[in-house]
Structure 1
Amino acid sequence: MDLRQLRYFIALDEHRSFVRAAEAMGITQPAFSRSIQGLEHEFGCVLVDRGNKDLRPTPEGLVVLQHARSLVQGAALLSSEVTQMTKLDAGELRFGCGPAPAVKLVPDAVAQFINAHPKVRTCFEVDNWEKLSRALNREEIEFFIADIRHFESDPNFQTQALTPKRGVFFCRPGHPLLAKESLSTNDMFDYPLATTMIPPGIRKLLANLSGRVDFSPSIQTEHFPALVKVVLQSNAIGVGTEEAFIEDVAQGSLVLLHWRNLPQNIESMN
């Protein structure tokens, strides 16, 4: 048994397909299958229920999966810490972030970092929290910046809270809602909502406010500048962190919307 086999097993659990998992790990499907079979042979038990179309782990597979994630993440952390101790003036930093932090928080932090460590190669990808968590499990990135609520109770993730960012709703100047003296959350759902990928907790709160079983935004994109442009050219209501478009608000190109009955736990969205 080696870390490579454990990484493959983790990938199989994420993709629930030998073909897709092999593609994600960059090897052929037959080689990937042999690696999983070798792992099963070493443990002396079946780790994946091949009779189930979802390829769910067996009870033994769940135990292996739990320890595999800990071992793989521990190895990556060890390598990273040793590198940081010995080669802080070289090496590579790879991480991810959501669309809103990518507007200001991350660029500002990266600029400070490369000023202090100009020889370190820095690479960050912008995507939603779900895809970034998969990238972390595949060790494609070392960490990511996203809403912490979906991960803080998950033993497979180590979390570190940053300063909370205020979540707000915004629209274009001249939007029909601006003619009202007071806005209720009922007014919100009269217009399309444009958002990045919403964490499950916030999605549930919005569903409750709208009186629906589930909630899906009318427009969803992980490209924040595109989201803002949609709002500027339509009656859509945008949702995001205030710091991501504070300059647009200051210039008057976007207007903040305030709801009199909005739950406080929605106001911290990232």
Structure 2
Amino acid sequence: MIQLAAVVKTGGVTEGAALLGLAQPAVSRTLSMLEKRLGEPLFIKGRRPLQPTPLGRALADHGQVMLAASRKATDTIESFRVGKGGTVRVGGTPFFMDALIAGMIAEFQNLHPNVRVDQSYGYFSDLRAALKADQVDLAICPIDILDEGSGLEFQQILPGRNVIACRVTHPLLMKHRPQPSDLLNYPWIAPPPGSPLLADLRSMLLSFGATEIRIRYTGGSLMGAVNYMKGTDALTILPHSVVFALRKDKSITALPVAVPHPERALGLLKRADAPRMPAVDHFARHIRSGFENLKHLIKRHEQSVVWGV
């Protein structure tokens, strides 16, 4: 019926065969066999260009639908092969996803508008389980160490760097060099439960000599924490890259206080035995490239804001 549709559309067997990239004798045989099978003519005899009978026209209409579907399927296959179509299922830790990755997803889809991105949130244990259950294709998260034999692959894209974040009008910014003991005079925002930042916060404050932690606000999203900080003198711990990403808002900044850097790195996590998916590969390269371009800017920002050099 696809061949019939092509002949009806072009008005000739030769032309219809050329449209489909087939040989004219092959199309003639197909139409002849179809007429014998139906016991009815498909074209009115003696008319040039060829004119279909009512039955021929009806079957050609079906063939046209099939031809369109066939071409669409071919386009879908080709888009998948070159990574310009398909779906990318990506999961990641909330603060990084909101501050950095969401913008990179937008940039990626401007280049690949036919690729759908399904994003979810989670911390390392959740993301590891989601990868093994084939619920996500790629995870973007900070990890300390990957167990041997885990069946996962990790590619580092940014070393771990924490800073103490506050609003841009915080009183401590008036001090030339705030001391760790000064920080204990202010309340704190705790990162969400399950976040590795929560353990970093407790460890850092204990190293500063705190006997108890004055938590004023907990469990909020990144924007929730930022908006809370904007209206209070509360402090919190954040990855430096997150503070860097929010620098243009001019609402929060980092205190010039050195804090211990965690023994972990932000990176891309995927199953070692995952089937090749071109769209996922393109997306992963886009994220790696984005962070490669940001590394030097983030380092310069850290030296300027935290170290004052």
TM-score, scaled to structure 1 = 0.55
| Whole-angstrom CA distance in 2 between matches of 1:252 and 1:141 | 34
Of structures 1 and 2, the one with the larger relative CO (CA 8 A, separation 6+) is 2
**Shift of the alpha carbon at 1:225?**
0.8
> What CA distance in whole angstroms lies between the structure 1 residues aligned with 2:87 and 2:179?
48
| Map of 1:256 onto structure 2 | 254
Query: Structure 2 matches for 1:96-245, cutoff 5 A?
Result: 96-149=91-144, 151-153=145-147, 155-156=149-150, 157-164=152-159, 166-194=161-189, 195-196=191-192, 197-198=195-196, 202=200, 205-206=203-204, 208-211=206-209, 219-221=217-219, 223-245=221-243
1:85 offset after TM fit, Å?
7.0
Aligned partners of 2:207, 2:127: CA distance in 1, in Å? 28
Q: Are the counterparts in 2 of residues 249 and 256 from structure 1 also a CA contact under 8 Å?
A: no
CA RMSD of aligned residues (A): 3.7
Report the Cα offset of residue 191 of structure 1: 2.4
How far the C-alpha of 1:259 sits from its partner, in A, is 1.6
Classify 1:165/1:250 alpha carbon distance in 2 versus 1 (closer, same or farther; 3 Å): farther
CA deviation digits over 1:188-226, x for unaligned, max 9?
A: 333233234225863563264145799796544362111
Q: SS of the residue aligned with 1:235? A: coil
Tell me which moved more, 100-109 or 229-238.
100-109
Change (3 A) 1:134 1:115: same
Counterpart for residue 23 of structure 1: none
Correspondence list, 1:77-96, <5 A = 86=81, 88-96=83-91
Task: Note closer, same or farther for the CA distance 1:84–1:236 as it changes in structure 2 (3 Å cut).
Answer: farther
* Cα deviations by residue, 1:91-140 (Å, 9 ceiling, x for unpaired): 21101122232234312332333234322221111333343333333322
Deviations 1:239-258 (A, max 9, x none): 22334343654454223202
- When Rg is computed on C-alpha atoms for both structures, the one with the higher figure is 2
CA distance in 1, matches of 2:241, 2:89: 24
Distance 1:143 1:215, change over 3 A: farther
State the one-letter code of the partner of 1:152.
L
2-side partners of 1:251 and 1:121: how far apart? 29
What is the number of residues matched between the two proteins? Answer: 186
Q: 1:223 to 1:142 in 2, by over 3 A?
A: same
CA 1:253 to 1:199, structure 2 compared with 1: closer, same or farther past 3 Å? Answer: closer
Q: Does the Cα contact within 8 Å between 1:191 and 1:236 map onto a contact in 2? A: yes
- Counterpart code for 2:146: E
| Cα 1:85–1:250 shift into 2, 3 Å | closer
Q: Mark the CA change 1:88 to 1:216 in structure 2 (over 3 Å): closer, same or farther.
A: farther
Q: What is the percent sequence identity of the aligned residues?
A: 21
The residue aligned with 1:59 is none
Partner SS, residue 119 of structure 2: strand
Map 1:16-27 onto structure 2 (within 5 A).
none
Partner AA of 1:158 in structure 2: E
